[in-house]
Every structure is written in C-alpha cells, then in structure tokens.
Amino acid sequence: MLLDRHDAILSDLDGVVYAGPHAIEGAPQALNAAQDSGVPVAFVTNNAGRSVTAVAEHLVELGVATDADHVISSAQAAAKLLAERCAPGTKVLITGAPALADCVAEAGLVPVYSQQDEPAAVVQGFNPEIGWAQLAEASYTLADPEVLWVASNTDLTIPKERGLAPGNGTLVGAVAQACGRTPIVAGKPESPIFHTAAQQLNSEKPLVIGDRLDTDILGANRANMASALVLTGVEDFSSVAAAEVQQRPTYIIETLAGIFEEYPKIVIRTEGSMVRAEGAGWNVEVEDGAVRAAGGGTEIDLWRVASQAWWAAHPHADHPVPMPEIIRD
C-alpha cells in the first residue's frame, strides 16, 4: 500500500483533518490507523497565533490520537530559524501573538516589544489583535539592515465564517512596503517547517499530506519530500491536473483512506509528438493539446494517469496549464 513507502506522515489540518469545526468523515480514523500501524503522524500548521497545545486539544476532541508534541506550527519553525541564526539570549521583537512569543522564549531567546529594547531580530506572525503601532515598531526596527527578519508565514488570506479575511502575508506586506525589505519565511510553502516536523519524528522518508497545491504540495517539493494531494479540501481533479511543475503532487488520493490502498504504477512513454501514459487499466494519450483515454478502471485512476500524461507533455510549466476535457474512446 502507499503508506508502506514512507516512515511518517506530515499532515495539514484544514481540508485534510477537519473542515470548519467538524472532522472530515473518516479522517481521524485513518490517521489513528496509520499510527497504530507504526507510522507516526505530525500535524503541520501555518497558524502562528494558536498554541500547539490548543491545536492538539482540538484534534483530540475530533477523535485524533495526538498531543502537543506532534503539532508543529509556523511559530515553532520561525523560532527554530531564529535560534539557528542568533546567540542564546538575543533579543527578538515580537510582532504577533503570545503563542509566538512563547516559542521564541522556549528557543532560548528573549521576546521584547519595542525598538528601544535594541532587538537584533524581528519575528512576525499572525495576531488578529495587532495594530498599526506594532507594525510601525517592526518597521522602525527593520530600518537597520543588520536586524534579522523572520516571518512565520505569508498566507495572504484566512478563511473565516463570513468569508476571506487578511492573513499574516498581508501584514508582512505592509511592513515590507515600509522598510523596503523581505523576510525569511519559516512556514508553508517554504521548507523549514517541513524539516522541523520531520526532525521531530526522526523521519527520513516522510509523506506530506495536504489539500492545497500552493502551500502543502509546493512546500513538500521545496523540502524534497513526497506528497499526497487529498481531494477533501480546496482542490479538485482539474486543478491538480493543471498544476505547474513545482506544485505537482507525488500522489493523488480522494480521502485519507487512500494511504492504505495500492497506488498504481504509471508508465510514461514519448512517441514523437505524442505522450502516452499507462496504468491501472487506463491508456491515456496526449497529442496536439488533446487528451484521449481508453480502457476501464476507477475515475480517480483515470485522473491519476491522465495527469501524469499531461504533466509529461508540459514538463517545464511555470504556471497552471488547464487540461482539456478527456475524450474517452
């Protein structure tokens, strides 16, 4: 089965484990079964405003067997980046939530809140209570080019009950415009948070599971880790097939139960101007922008084979390339 190829799971949360306040059907059971089989699971979140303890408690309420030691946040990844670059006891200006300050302190650094404290670094994470004064303090501090700047993540939006709201990336952008600099980013889609999670589990062959191409899958590829795109969140078959090179997953699964199934072997051949992909009972050909499929099998296997064929026909795409409707012979 697919899971046998890996020694740990690094799972996203929203769209993979839960949607809003409710667990996605079967997700807690699948993750618990993976752990029962000896494959540890860590949860990777870009939320720097919520403590890992609070996240773990919510997961337990949903039926997931986990604890705070198995939740890795972008706040932790940011603190780790700071600790790697700063001496113990270094003062760090906090532009974010108390959870971020706690992570910085746990990393052996000293959280401060004013430029007058002479911080050697600034760390910025999401906090819905943050205001102009805190952003200005970061800008004043970062006017010194020697001051290190780390952002937990740069998500431009946050999904809320009433719609999309500005995320940490929007606030980071405001500071960047003021100081003319860009930060080092610790969270998804950058690789540090994935390396932090893998180290936490002593994993050499982790599987990143996510529902977003532009954060989870892109981040996994940047970290040189295998990835599974699960179709319980924001993506669908067509968006995955259209993915640019850096956002193409290793596997496509409909639900988390897919990690316990055999993943089809897909063989790619190029014959002149035609790209042919075969596997799981399907034969898919891509030529002159058309996609033709013959054979029989499951719908998801068709899309797995067709996606591989389409990707092989567009090996250097640096932007999404929509796949046309599949012609079934």
pLDDT digits (tens, 9 = 90+) for 178-189: 999 999 999 999
Query: What percentage of the chain exceeds 70 in pLDDT?
Result: 99
Lowest mean pLDDT among 159-168, 254-263, 302-311: 159-168
Cα-Cα-Cα-Cα dihedral of 257, 218, 226, 241, to 10°?
A: 60
**Catalytic residue among 4, 7, 12, 155, which?**
12
Percentage helix, strand, coil, to 5, in the chain?
35, 25, 40
Crossing angle of the two packed helices 74-85 and 98-106, in degrees rounded to 10: 40
Output the pLDDT for position 161: 66
Contacting residues for 53 by C-beta, under 8 A, at least 6 apart? 68
The answer to whether residues 1 and 259 touch, using CB atoms and an 8 Å cutoff, is yes
pLDDT at 111: 98
Which pLDDT belongs to residue 162? 80
How would you classify the pairing of strands 251-253 and 41-45? unpaired
pLDDT over 80 at 13, yes or no: yes
- Across 72-77, average pLDDT: 94
Which of these is catalytic: 14, 211, 216, 301?
A: 14
Contact 86, 56 (CB under 8 A): no
- Alpha-carbon distance 14 to 21, whole Å? 9
pLDDT for the residue numbered 158:
79
Distance in angstroms (rounded) separating the CA atoms of residues 181 and 148: 10
At 148, which helix (H) or strand (E)?
A: strand 148-151
pLDDT higher than 70, residue 129: yes
Mean pLDDT over the full length of the chain? 95
Distances (CA, A) of 3 to 196, 201, 253, 306: 21, 16, 12, 23
| Integer Cα distance of 152 and 172 in angstroms | 10
- pLDDT at position 66, please? 97
Residue 121 buriedness (CB in 10 A; 0-12 / 13-18 / 19+): buried
Cis previous bond, 249, omega within 30:
no
Distance CA 51, CA 264 (A): 39
Q: Give the separation between CA 299 and CA 4, rounded to whole angstroms.
A: 24
**What pLDDT sits at residue 160?**
72
Largest interatomic CA distance in the chain: 72
Q: 175 with 205: CB under 8 angstroms? A: no
Quote the pLDDT of residue 140. 98
**pLDDT at res. 19:** 85
- For residue 242, what pLDDT is reported? 98
Which candidate, 181, 123, 187, places its Cα nearest to that of 155?
Answer: 187
What number is the average pLDDT over the span 216-236?
96
21 pLDDT exceeds 90? Answer: no
pLDDT (mean) for 230-243: 94
14 is catalytic: yes
The residue type at 285: E
Cα–Cα nearest to 79, from 96, 61, 54, 56: 96
DSSP result, 43-91: EEE---SS-HHHHHHHHHHTT----GGGEEEHHHHHHHHHHHHS-TT-E
Say what the pLDDT of residue 164 is: 78
If phi over 0 gives left and psi between -120 and 50 gives alpha, with beta otherwise, what is residue 327?
beta
pLDDT at 38: 96
pLDDT recorded at residue 156: 87
Task: Kindly state the average pLDDT of the residues 129-154.
Answer: 97
214, amino acid identity:
D
Cβ atoms of 39 and 8 within 8 Å: the answer is yes
Give residue 291's pLDDT.
97
